[in-house]
Amino acid sequence: MRSRTQARGWRWRRNPLRRRSDVVEAWTFVVVAVLLFVVAPLTGVAAGLRAHGTAEGHARTQRAERHAVRAVVLGRTDEQLPLVRDDRRHPYRAEVRWSEPGTGSRTAAARVPAGTRADDVVTVWFDGRGRNVSPPPDAVAVWQHAVSIGLCAAGGAAGTVLAAHAVQRRVALRHRLDEWEREWALTGPRWSRPLT
């Protein structure tokens, strides 16, 4: 049992077989482990929280600028609109009518959900200029954005650490092979002399 423990920690103890490159490799392993298991997740959390704050501010601004109205669909056109990144659930345009206090009845073209028919009541969103817009992102969309940014940041940090570790190991191996070559140049002639 003791020899197995000694074999595992040989890079940390003084012994005649340990080289400087072995110590560097042992410390590099510790640094990589800390970077992978502490720094990369913290990077993801920090990026996710920052993205959440930014997305929440953007959503708050949109909620202040946009307003929803309950409108009656007068008639839907059957042409499908090009999909918009923000609003994939409302792929059709239809004429809608709604009433606003003080202004009376208004009519406009708006995006409506698939399957909407005439006389259906739908919720449509408009901005301050009266243009039909997509609804502002809800809390779920904000958190999805934050989590995806956090995961990408953590994955990117972990990938960078692993790539740097691979480069370091390649350089260390080349350095170790050069050390062995120099030492063999000194030791080799003694071993290869013919016996007389």
Sign of CA dihedral 140, 143, 147, 148: positive
Please indicate whether residue 153 or residue 183 has the higher confidence score (pLDDT). 153
Residue 50 has pLDDT above 60, yes or no: yes
Q: What share of the chain is helix, strand, coil (3-state, %, to 5)?
A: 55, 20, 25
Lowest mean pLDDT among 47-56, 74-83, 159-168: 74-83
pLDDT at position 132: 86
Residues 6+ apart with CB under 8 A from 42: none
- The pLDDT assigned to 85 comes to 45
The pLDDT assigned to 31 comes to 95
Residue with more model confidence, 81 or 192? 192
What does DSSP say about strands 121-126 and 104-112: parallel, antiparallel, or unpaired? Answer: unpaired
pLDDT of residue 105: 86
- 53 pLDDT more than 50: yes
CA distance linking residue 115 with residue 100, whole number of Å = 26
pLDDT digits (tens, 9 = 90+) for 13-34: 677 767 777 788 888 999 999 9
Check pLDDT > 90 for residue 79.
no
Residue 128 has what pLDDT?
82
Per-residue pLDDT of 103-133, as tens digits, reads 788 888 888 887 788 888 988 888 888 888 8
Residue 47: pLDDT band with limits 50, 70, 90:
very high
Check residue 34 and give its pLDDT: 96
pLDDT of residue 117: 82
Beta carbons of 12 and 29 less than 8 angstroms apart: no
Q: What is the pLDDT of residue 112?
A: 83
